């Protein structure tokens, strides 16, 4: 949206018409309230931006179908606030009052009377209003400007309408209007080309009236159009056009410098200012109530005199508040400006290359530094903090993809809700002319999937007003169908609609971007999940997840396995929809802010974190109770879930979550780099993206994978975690405790012939007592002291290593892994140590 500058924010309100309570739609579901329909259509009006048009900014719903609209008005002119009312109310079908001012209505609109397009009795008759009716209204406005007075203001509305209809019997409408209003001399003095334009606009028959396009080529505009520079729509972030193609700098560079008393806030976009106004305590309904535009009645005064059993009521007087009141209330920005008074001017223009701090300095910089450490929910409601973050992200995104690394860096702090849609697109590596690609996809030709999509959409996040609107359903249908058509090797699975919901909500007016984000998200986190036969992919994923539960919480893993409550029973909807099927959107936004910063294995950590929040209840219950618990998932603290997921992710070796059905390695210069050859420092790369060597993990048959309770790690991870170097020495300082303990379960003789530096020897044959407990010895004492750190079991044969690891899990040892390929993988590295002979 354009900058606020010297414009003002104004609000107006009206009621949508009520629907009967006992009527359902053709799908058997309750009818969508008209206020939600209006809210959905309103979104398109927000995209209309022009210096000479009022800008719609936001809409909100109140009680009983009330809608409250926020607009931007230029030069204090509030008369144009209902230019989109006809569209947003479905040509007047969703309200109980007529649309339009009587004096400006075209004759054909008056002749047809009140029309509800949804009324089946109207048949296929075309709607009376259209571009040509607007030409008539334009003619009335031009006449008023030329005559210097308003038309038909001193007569009753019914008489006005009759007068306009009778103009059909008159040849020269302009002259008759001038005579009626006593301004004939003023009209006759007009230039001939202006009179001709008036007569064209005020042509009675629509068939003879020109269209707006025909009016634009009228000679009257030839001498005027050259005085105005053509309006250039700003180029979007993801486009093939150059964003700086029309950039013009003033000849005097000092014009860019502002005085200390100038309004920096006025240079910010309208939606930013309104967002900050709300954070600073602004309330649209409260402002309208204070100005007595919204007036409440005691409930007793709204009771009917007579009520039937079926709910039909009689005897209520018509409430005039349900008619249109076009009074506009100006919103004061004083409270917001006072809240931001300590923000220095430099904060509005941060230096992107400053590595010292992501927060610009201000008089309250210490306070801002403290704010960063506060919970996310508090940071998102802090006006000053959000201003700084919005400005910073706005600057970074305008420099995308050149500043991709910095976008990643700042996203690790937090993502401002107002910028979330574009920030996610940047994190997903969306680039290029996304609109052209989206437009090239056939979204209209019927396909077999259409029926399932139509069934799923009315059940997808319908608590949300935007997604439950008819416009939301149409956009859902188009984006989902575009994805299905553009991925012929994949199919539509139930849950894809939930996966689409966050992207559509954030980019409601940009279907192309919603589609592009979804198309980038699925290959990264859900590669081949939507194959027609995806059983092998799902089963491998759930098996790795089961190993992650055993790795991080062996006690919980043992209990769930004992009662037979396996991930197949509850986790498929989690991962197939990346938790969008189980969490509301506001939680998904916070969860995905972090998910998009992690690699494809991060969802495993989220799943484990969810289980750990339910840990006490799961451990205390059996199979049936656990099934009931997950049928209606209890409230999950999403901020705690995110924190614990990050901790789990940091403790998980990369190769432990290796999947052979994961996305293949990306080409150089893909999302793991900044697009210009330099690796990003803030990106958690996937294990499969790393160059494959002899020390890498090898693919494993699904049956073998399922037979192992603990995950395997690669020799590369072992070397890295043990910080080994050539000669068997470690690179860490003597004071630091190892991150990992290698447990060699081979015989004492084999251990003496060569082993990992720092490893301990616990031969498998003598490690456990008959009841499964570890036999106490110095080595098992060392193992106990490393409890909670990563334990790697090393053997000749993988089967014995897996069995030893299973025994450790049974006695509740966490973070147990096995070395993929065993000791043989390490022999060629030269990193094995042979103990010195005893003298």
3-state SS, residue 424: helix
All residue ranges of the chain with pLDDT < 50 are 76, 78-79, 120, 123, 261, 356-357, 359-365, 669, 671-682, 727-728, 733-735, 838-839
* Strand-pair partners of 269: 3
pLDDT for the residue numbered 610: 97
User: Is the CB of residue 10 less than 8 Å from the CB of residue 273?
Assistant: no
Helix axes 496-506, 511-525, angle to 10 degrees: 130
What pLDDT, on the 0 to 100 scale, is given for residue 625? 95
Which residues on neighbouring strands pair with residue 588, listed in sequence order?
none
37 C-beta neighbours (distance < 10 Å), count: 21
- What's the token pair of residue 546? 């089961």
Tokens found for residue 263? 């309004």
- Residue 84 to residue 41: CA distance in whole angstroms: 10
End-to-end distance of the chain based on CA atoms, in angstroms?
A: 83
DSSP 640-665: HHHHHHHHHHHHS-GGGG--TTSPPP
pLDDT, residue 651, reads 93
Tokens of 444: 């209209």
Give the CA radius of gyration of the chain: 34
CA distance 379 to 373: 9
CB 360, CB 388: distance < 8 Å: yes
Question: In sequence order, what E strands does 215-338 have?
Answer: 306-307, 313-314, 325-330
Q: Which residue has the tokens 């210069």?
A: 669
Looking at residue 681, its pLDDT comes to 42
Task: Report d(CA 268, CA 88) in Å as an integer.
Answer: 27
> Do the Cβ atoms of 110 and 154 come closer than 8 Å?
no
195-215 CB burial, b ≥16 within 10 A, e <16? bebbebbbbbebeebbeeeeb
For the segment 536-564, what is each residue's pLDDT rounded down to a tens digit?
Answer: 999 999 999 999 999 999 999 999 999 99
Burial of 343 (0-12, 13-18, 19+ CB in 10 A): buried
DSSP secondary structure code for residue 233 in this structure: P
Non-local (6+) Cβ contacts of 664 within 8 A are: 688
**CA 574 – CA 633 distance, rounded (Å):** 11
| Bond prior to 401 in cis (omega within 30° of 0) | yes
198 contacts 139 by C-beta, under 8 angstroms = yes
Contact predicate 747/753, CB 8 Å: no
What residues are paired with 789 via a beta bridge? 787
Q: Is 18 helix (H, G, I), strand (E, B) or coil?
A: coil
Judged on CB neighbours under 10 Å (0-12, 13-18, 19+), 450 is middle
User: What's the token pair of residue 662?
Assistant: 């994961």
Length of the chain, in residues: 839
| Burial class, 17, CB count within 10 angstroms (exposed 0-12 / middle 13-18 / buried 19+) | middle
Helices within 298-402 (DSSP H only): 334-339, 365-371, 376-379, 383-398
Q: Which residues pair with 793 in a beta bridge?
A: 743, 818
Q: What does the alpha-carbon distance between residue 237 and residue 419 come to, in Å, rounded to a whole number?
A: 12
Non-local (6+) Cβ contacts of 448 within 8 A are: none
Q: SS3 for 594?
A: helix
Which helix (H) or strand (E) covers residue 588, if one does? helix 585-595
Q: Which of 101, 376, 48 is nearest to 233 (CA)?
A: 48
User: What is the distance, to the nearest Å, from the Cα of residue 579 to the centroid of all Cα atoms in its chain?
Assistant: 14
Q: Which residues pair with 697 in a beta bridge?
A: none
Q: Tell me the Ramachandran region of residue 341: left when phi exceeds 0, alpha when psi lies from -120 to 50, beta otherwise.
A: alpha
Q: What is the rounded distance in angstroms from the CA atom of residue 656 to the CA atom of residue 546?
A: 12
* Contact residues for 481 (Cβ-Cβ < 8 A; gap 6+): 443, 447, 449, 450, 453
Q: Please tell me the predicted confidence (pLDDT) of residue 504.
A: 97
Half-sphere exposure of 1 (CA within 13 A, CB side): 29
| SS3 per-residue string spanning 725-782 | CCCCCECCCCCCCCCEEEEECCCHHHHHHCEECCCEECCHHHCECCCCCECCCHHHHH
Cβ–Cβ under 8 Å, residues 176 and 198: no
Spatial neighbors of 654 by CB under 8 A, at least 6 apart, are 599, 601, 687, 690, 717
How many Cβ atoms are within 10 Å of 409's Cβ, its own excluded?
16
User: Are the CB atoms for 361 and 344 separated by under 8 Å?
Assistant: yes
Strands 325-330 vs 8-15: parallel, antiparallel or unpaired: antiparallel
Q: Take residue 390 and report the two structure tokens written for it.
A: 């919005």
> What is the CA angle 626-628-579, rounded to 5?
80
Name the pairing type of β-strands 755-756 and 760-761: unpaired
User: Residue 792: which residues within 8 A CB-CB, separation 6 or more?
Assistant: 713, 718, 721, 740, 741, 742, 743, 817, 818, 819
Name the pTM for this structure. 0.89
């Amino acid at each position: 949206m354009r900058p606020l500058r010297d414009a003002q924010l104004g609000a107006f309100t009206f009621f949508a018409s009520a629907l009967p309570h006992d009527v359902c739609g053709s799908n058997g579901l309750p009818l969508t309230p008209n206020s939600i329909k209006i809210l959905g259509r309103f979104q398109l009006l927000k995209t209309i931006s022009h210096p000479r048009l009022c800008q719609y900014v936001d809409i909100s719903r109140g009680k009983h179908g009330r809608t409250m609209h926020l607009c931007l008005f230029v030069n204090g002119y509030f008369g144009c606030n209902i230019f989109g009312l006809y569209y947003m109310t479905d040509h007047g079908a969703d309200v109980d009052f007529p649309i339009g001012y009587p004096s400006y209505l075209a004759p054909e609109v008056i002749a047809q009377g009140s029309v509800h397009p949804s009324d089946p009795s109207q048949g296929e008759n075309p709607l009376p209003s259209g571009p040509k009716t607007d030409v008539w209204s334009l003619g009335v406005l031009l006449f008023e400007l030329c005559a210097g007075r308003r038309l038909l203001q001193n007569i009753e509305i019914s008489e006005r309408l009759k007068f306009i209809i009778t103009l059909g019997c008159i040849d020269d409408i302009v002259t008759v209007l001038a005579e009626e209003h006593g301004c004939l001399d003023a009209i006759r003095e007009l230039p001939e080309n202006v009179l001709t334009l008036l007569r064209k606009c005020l042509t009675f028959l629509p068939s003879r009236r020109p269209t707006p396009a025909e009016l634009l080529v009228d000679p009257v505009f030839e001498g005027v159009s050259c005085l105005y520079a053509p309006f250039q729509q700003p180029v979007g972030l993801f486009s093939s056009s150059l964003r700086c193609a029309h950039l013009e700098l003033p000849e005097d560079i000092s014009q860019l410098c502002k005085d200390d008393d100038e309004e920096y806030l006025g240079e910010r976009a309208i939606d930013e200012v309104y967002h900050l106004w709300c954070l600073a305590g602004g309330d649209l309904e409260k402002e309208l109530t204070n100005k007595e535009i919204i007036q409440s009645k005691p409930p007793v005064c709204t009771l009917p005199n007579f009520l039937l059993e079926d709910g039909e009521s009689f005897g209520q007087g018509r409430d005039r508040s349900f008619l249109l009141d076009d009074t506009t209330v100006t919103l004061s920005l004083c409270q917001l400006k006072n809240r931001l008074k300590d923000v220095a001017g430099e904060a509005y223009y941060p230096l992107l290359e400053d590595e010292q701090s992501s927060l610009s300095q201000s008089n309250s910089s210490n306070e801002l530094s403290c704010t960063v450490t506060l919970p996310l929910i508090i940071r998102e409601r802090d006006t000053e903090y959000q201003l700084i973050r919005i400005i910073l992200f706005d600057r970074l995104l305008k420099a995308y993809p050149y500043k991709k690394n910095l976008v990643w860096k700042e996203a690790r702090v937090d993502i401002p809700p107002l910028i979330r849609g574009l920030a996610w697109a940047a994190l997903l590596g969306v680039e290029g002319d996304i609109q052209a690609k989206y437009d090239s996809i056939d979204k209209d030709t019927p396909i077999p999937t259409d029926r399932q999509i139509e069934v799923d959409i009315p059940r997808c996040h319908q608590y949300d007003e935007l997604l439950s609107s008819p416009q939301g359903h149409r956009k859902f249908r188009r984006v989902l169908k575009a994805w299905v058509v553009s991925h012929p090797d994949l199919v539509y699975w139930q849950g894809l609609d939930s996966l689409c919901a966050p992207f559509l909500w954030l980019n409601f007016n940009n279907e192309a971007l919603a589609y592009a984000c979804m198309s980038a998200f699925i290959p990264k986190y859900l590669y081949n999940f939507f194959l027609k036969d995806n059983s092998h992919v799902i089963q491998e994923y759930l098996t790795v997840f089961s190993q992650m539960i055993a790795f991080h919480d062996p006690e919980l893993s043992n209990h769930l396995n004992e009662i037979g409550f396996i991930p197949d029973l509850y986790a498929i909807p989690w991962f197939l929809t990346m938790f969008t099927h189980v969490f509301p959107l506001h939680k998904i936004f916070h969860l995905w802010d972090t998910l998009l910063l992690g690699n494809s294995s991060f969802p495993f950590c989220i799943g484990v974190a969810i289980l750990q929040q339910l840990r006490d209840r799961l451990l205390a219950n059996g199979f049936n109770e656990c099934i009931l618990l997950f049928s209606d998932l209890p409230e999950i603290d999403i901020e705690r879930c995110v924190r614990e997921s990050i901790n789990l992710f940091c403790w998980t070796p990369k190769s432990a979550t290796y999947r052979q059905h994961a996305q293949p390695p990306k080409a150089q210069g893909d999302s793991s780099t900044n697009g210009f050859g330099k690796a990003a420092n803030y990106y958690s790369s996937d294990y499969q993206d790393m160059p494959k060597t002899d020390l890498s993990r090898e693919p494993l048959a699904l049956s073998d994978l399922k037979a192992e309770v603990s995950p395997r790690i690669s020799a590369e991870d072992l070397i890295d975690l043990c910080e080994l170097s050539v000669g068997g020495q470690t690179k860490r300082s003597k004071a630091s405790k190892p991150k990992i303990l290698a447990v060699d379960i081979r015989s004492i003789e084999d251990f003496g012939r060569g082993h990992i530096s720092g490893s301990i020897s616990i031969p498998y044959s003598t490690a456990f007592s008959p009841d499964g407990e570890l036999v106490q010895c110095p080595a098992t004492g060392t193992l106990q002291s490393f409890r909670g750190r990563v334990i790697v079991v090393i053997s000749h044969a993988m089967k014995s290593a897996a069995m030893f690891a299973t025994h450790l899990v049974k006695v509740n040892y966490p973070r147990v892994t096995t070395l993929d390929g065993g000791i043989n993988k390490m022999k060629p590295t030269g990193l094995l140590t042979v103990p010195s002979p005893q003298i």
